[in-house]
């Protein structure tokens, strides 16, 4: 019995399936949107698999990609596996890229069923146990967005040939320095044009540290009564954040803006951005702020120190270091020239080192290369193993009596 492994012909576009484990408005979804928008359409056809319809799925369609809605709980049902596999085979999907652990599990299994290469993009600070297991069982490739995560993956024993460091990037032609002293947000909250505004951009959930941000703003406001704090985003801690603002009587200077569609316009109304996260990889929100020429005060977690040059483009503080964050904010707002210099250097760093074009180009090259590697691997297999197909297969290591020496199974 023989198996046939197809690869995109020179005249056919590479069909990429993006499996997205959530469909909210967040950094991971923004990454996928930018990738869908900027992958060269003459080279790539894109289908995006989402767990449910949302504003995100409508945005995906707006960029010309097809959308497939498929339930993907942490333990995917057979119906989802079979349907996704049928789509992959019938629509000639060449490579699968997954985002979040539930998507990785679905994609890894579908890749095994259909002999399709799978790339998992890890947007977090570390490789989870689930993702490690899927990688080892299904032979998936893993891309990471910062060096911290790359070193963590290698420390876990992952094959360096299957780990790919592709840093996030920002479109510095969209996120550019401009200042609005009387924009819609300031008008909405009654903020005077001369008042300094400190921005928080992120999901209102524990990992982003919204309470740490508010506590630091409470301290900074004592020294700078004119300071205003604006939080952009929503999430499961919204009621808790509202209660904090009410309990500490911060209504006059702390404002919840909710989700915002035009982030370049929002950043134009800020004077600096604070990230109080407990865990991060390489957050797009900070890169966008830097592209907009804003200094950043951030906690020293994950890949954030790769972005922020302490004392040059912004300041770094320890996780939950409320005093350190507040002091850094006061230092910048009390020295307008320093604030301006930091912002200019942040913009310069974003242009030189945080290019969206570089991120998309590297990802496109990897997505195009993986199907070719699959074909090469299939051609190198001994004929006796052809019945196993072209996918990475579970092969028992046997002795002369046909038994595995320790009953183990290893990936081939």
Kindly tell me if the per-residue pLDDT of 405 is higher than 70.
no
- Quick check: 399 pLDDT over 80? no
Mean pLDDT score of the chain: 90
The mean per-residue pLDDT over the stretch 247-276 comes to 97
CATH 3.40.50.2000 residue ranges of the chain are 14-169+356-396, 184-310+346-353
Contact call for residues 229 and 214 (beta carbons, < 8 A): yes
CA angle centred on 373, ends 370 and 374, rounded to 5°: 90
Which residue in 57, 27, 10 sits closest to 286, CA to CA?
A: 27
**Is the pLDDT at 380 greater than 60, yes or no?**
no
Per-residue confidence (pLDDT) for residue 26, from 0 to 100: 81
Phi, psi at 400, each rounded to 5°: -60, -30
Q: Does 395 score more than 70 pLDDT?
A: no
First vs last C-alpha separation in the chain: 19
Q: What pLDDT does residue 10 have?
A: 62
In which element (H, E) is residue 324 found?
helix 322-333
- Tell the CATH topology of 14-169+356-396: Rossmann fold (3.40.50)
Are 264 and 200 within 8 A, CB to CB?
no
Q: What is the pLDDT of residues 174-220, one digit of tens each?
A: 999 999 999 999 999 999 999 999 999 999 999 999 999 999 999 99
Per-residue pLDDT reduced to its tens digit, 69-107: 999 999 999 999 999 999 999 999 999 999 999 999 999
What SS3 class is residue 120?
Answer: strand
* pLDDT level of residue 401 (50, 70, 90 thresholds): very low
Residue 163: Cβ-neighbour burial (10 angstroms; 0-12, 13-18, 19+): buried
What pLDDT is recorded for position 373? Answer: 80
How far does CA 91 lie from the centroid of its chain? 27
Query: What's the confidence (pLDDT) of residue 410?
Result: 35
Say if CB 362 and CB 143 are below 8 A apart. no
- The percentage of residues in the chain with a pLDDT greater than 90, rounded to a whole number, is 86
Residue 328 has pLDDT above 90, yes or no: yes
pLDDT-based confidence at residue 403 (cuts at 50, 70, 90): very low
The reported pLDDT for the residue numbered 398 is: 36
| Nearest residue to 148 (alpha-carbon basis) of 288, 28, 300, 295 | 300
What CATH architecture does domain 184-310+346-353 belong to? 3-Layer(aba) Sandwich (3.40)
Residues of the chain with pLDDT > 70, as a percent, come to 88
Q: Is the pLDDT of residue 372 over 90?
A: no
User: Do 72 and 102 contact (CB within 8 A), yes or no?
Assistant: yes
Q: What's the chain's length in residues?
A: 412
Contacts of 175 (CB under 8 A, 6+ apart): 263, 264, 267, 288, 291, 292, 350
- Count CB neighbours of 368 within 10 A: 18
Cβ–Cβ < 8 Å for 21, 102: yes
pTM over 0.75: yes
Question: Using one digit for the tens of pLDDT, what is the confidence trace for 295-326?
Answer: 999 999 999 999 999 999 999 999 999 999 99
**Residue entry with tokens 């790339």:** 119
Burial of 247 (0-12, 13-18, 19+ CB in 10 A): exposed
pLDDT confidence of residue 374 = 65
State both tokens at 226. Answer: 């004119």
Return the number of other C-beta atoms located less than 10 Å from residue 90's C-beta.
8
Cα 365 from Cα 375, distance rounded (Å)? 16
Beta bridge partners of 99: 20, 121
Bridging pattern class, strands 394-396 and 409-411? antiparallel
Nearest CA to 124 out of 94, 139, 104 is that of 104
Cα–Cα nearest to 377, from 29, 164, 141, 126: 141
Backbone angles phi, psi at 286, to 5 degrees: -70, -35
Question: What is the rounded distance in angstroms from the CA atom of residue 241 to the CA atom of residue 235?
Answer: 10
Cβ contacts of residue 186 below 8 Å, gap of 6+? Answer: 180, 192, 193, 195, 197, 269
- The candidate with the shortest Cα–Cα distance to 5, out of 379, 331, 296, is 379
Within 8 A by CB and 6+ apart from 362, the residues are 166
In this model, does residue 269 exceed pLDDT 80? yes
> Model confidence at 378, in pLDDT bands (50, 70, 90)?
very low
Read off the pLDDT band of 382 (50, 70, 90): very low
């Amino acid at each position: 019995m023989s198996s046939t492994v197809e690869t995109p012909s020179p005249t056919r576009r590479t069909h990429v399936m993006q499996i997205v484990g959530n469909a909210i408005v967040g950094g991971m979804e923004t990454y996928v949107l930018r990738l869908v928008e900027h992958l060269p359409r003459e080279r790539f056809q894109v289908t995006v698999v989402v767990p449910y319809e949302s504003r995100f799925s409508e945005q995906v369609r707006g960029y010309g990609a097809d959308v497939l809605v498929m339930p993907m709980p942490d333990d995917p049902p057979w119906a989802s596996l079979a349907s996704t596999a049928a789509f992959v085979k019938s629509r000639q999907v060449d490579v699968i890229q997954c985002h979040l652990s539930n998507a990785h599990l679905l994609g890894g299994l579908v890749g095994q069923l259909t002999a399709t290469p799978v790339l998992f993009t890890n947007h977090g600070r570390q490789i989870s146990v689930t993702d490690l297991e899927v990688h080892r069982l299904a032979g998936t490739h893993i891309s990471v967005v910062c060096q911290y995560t790359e070193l963590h993956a290698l420390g876990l024993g992952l094959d360096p040939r299957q780990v790919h460091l592709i840093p996030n990037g920002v479109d510095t032609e969209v996120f550019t320095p401009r200042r609005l002293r009387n924009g819609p947000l300031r008008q909405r909250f009654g903020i005077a044009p001369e008042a300094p505004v400190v921005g928080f951009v992120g999901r209102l959930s524990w990992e982003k540290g919204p309470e740490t941000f508010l506590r630091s703003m409470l301290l900074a406001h004592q020294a700078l009564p004119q300071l205003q704090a604006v939080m952009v985003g929503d999430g499961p801690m919204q009621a808790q954040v509202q209660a904090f603002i009410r309990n500490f009587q911060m209504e006059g200077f702390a404002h919840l803006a909710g989700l915002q569609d035009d982030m370049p316009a929002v950043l134009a109304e800020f004077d600096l951005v604070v990230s109080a996260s407990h865990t991060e990889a390489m957050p797009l929100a900070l890169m966008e702020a830097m592209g907009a020429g804003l200094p950043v005060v951030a906690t020293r977690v994950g890949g954030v120190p790769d972005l922020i040059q302490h004392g040059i483009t912004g300041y770094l503080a320890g996780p939950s270091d409320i005093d350190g964050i507040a002091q850094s904010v006061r230092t910048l707002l009390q020295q307008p020239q320093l604030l301006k210099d930091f912002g200019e250097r942040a913009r310069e760093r974003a242009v030189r080192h945080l290019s969206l074009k570089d991120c998309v180009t590297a990802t496109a090259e990897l997505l195009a290369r993986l199907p070719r590697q699959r074909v090469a691997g299939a051609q190198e297999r001994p004929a006796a193993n052809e019945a196993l197909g072209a996918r990475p297969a579970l092969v028992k290591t046997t002795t002369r009596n046909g038994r595995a020496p320790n009953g183990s199974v290893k990936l081939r």
